[in-house]
Amino acid sequence: MMLRHVLTASASVLVAVAVSCATSGNWPVALPDQHDAVGTGSNGSYGSAAAVDVQLGVSISGLALLDLNSGSSGSFGAGKWSTRVVDPIDIVDRPTLGTVTPTGPGSATITAVRTSPLYVPNKTLLLNVRYAPVVNLATGAPKLGAGLRKASAVPESELVTCAVPFRLPEGRAPVEITSDIDLTPNPHGGYFLIVSNTVVTPGDDPATPQIETSYTRHWTSRLDYAAASVSEDTDNDGEFDDETQMVDADRDTVGDPELAEEIGDD
């Protein structure tokens, strides 16, 4: 046993109290499940498929895609896309915050985001959908046989990323994200990426006075891949030329000013 002196405050007076404690010992550690219950109240499903942080649905149309494991081309489906959740402020290597589990041809679940040391409740994160079209989206030139090593996985430089900003609430209910990506020819050269995103967040929307159990944000953006500029269809009329054009240096369909604002809000 050893004695430690602990300072406690009572009103404005500091009092020294001697307490005893063991110099060694064993302490049990109980992790909460997806409902934040521990001990006998826990169903033990934290970290399993039941503890889902993000439910994702994706579609990619307009061009054939390369298989990320072999390089062979084909229509959108298994093996033609991948995803990750990253912290957008970490622009060096953006480590993945969660584990992705495919649940169908265009769907997946992401778990354990909340256990990452980089996770902060209600902080902006990015869901990155990654894929490799068979053409260079800036020029429209075919990539097969040119930029790929034969019979090998698609190199990082050939991947295209579409990012979806979202915030995880403090509770355990999953955020539901749907992202529909259409690759369409640009009359001025290369391709447009028209991305329609829907994010359903559980809990109350802090931007509204009423109390909700969940709230939905939907938006459609168009990225001019060659120009590295993106615009959002703010009036939902299907037109983008009359909208503000934002620089999108990394071509992930999230404008640099928008991302800077999100990070500034955090």
- Enumerate the domain spans of the chain: 46-265
Residue 214 CA to residue 167 CA, distance in Å, equals 13
Q: What is the CA radius of gyration of the chain?
A: 24
Q: What value does the mean pLDDT of the chain take?
A: 80
Q: Give the least confident one: 18-32, 85-99, 193-207, 226-240.
A: 18-32
Span 163-169, mean pLDDT?
91
Helix (H, G, I), strand (E, B) or coil at 120: coil
Residue 252 CA to residue 226 CA, distance in Å, equals 12
Residue 107 CA to residue 93 CA, distance in Å, equals 25
Residue-wise over 184-216: b if at least 16 C-beta within 10 A, else e? eebeeebbbbbbebbbbbbbeeeeeeeeeeebe
Residue 229 CA to residue 255 CA, distance in Å, equals 7
> Residue 217 pLDDT more than 70?
yes
Structure-model confidence comparison of residues 119 and 200, the more confident one: 200
Contact by Cβ (8 Å): 95, 126: no
75's tokens: 């229509």
Q: Which residue type, as a one-letter code, is found at position 32?
A: P
Residue 38 CA to residue 41 CA, distance in Å, equals 6
Predicted pLDDT at 151: 44
Residue 157 region, left (φ>0) first, then alpha (ψ -120 to 50), else beta?
A: alpha
For the chain, percent of residues with pLDDT exceeding 90: 40
> Residue 87 pLDDT more than 90?
no
Instruction: Say what the alpha-carbon torsion angle 111, 199, 213, 43 is, to the nearest 10 degrees.
Output: -10
Residue 58 CA to residue 100 CA, distance in Å, equals 13
Residue-wise over 16-37: b if at least 16 C-beta within 10 A, else e? eeeeeeeeeeeeeeeeebbbee
Q: Give the least confident one: 48-52, 157-161, 163-167.
A: 48-52
- Give the pLDDT band of residue 37 (cuts 50, 70, 90): low
Residue-wise over 154-166: b if at least 16 C-beta within 10 A, else e? beeebbbbbbbbb
Residue 233 CA to residue 242 CA, distance in Å, equals 9
Span 21-47, mean pLDDT?
54
Predicted pLDDT at 120: 79
SS (H, E, C) 214-263: EEEEEEEEEEECCCCEEEECCCCCCCCCCCCCEECCCCCCCCHHHHHHHH
pLDDT digits (tens, 9 = 90+) for 16-31: 556 565 666 555 555 5
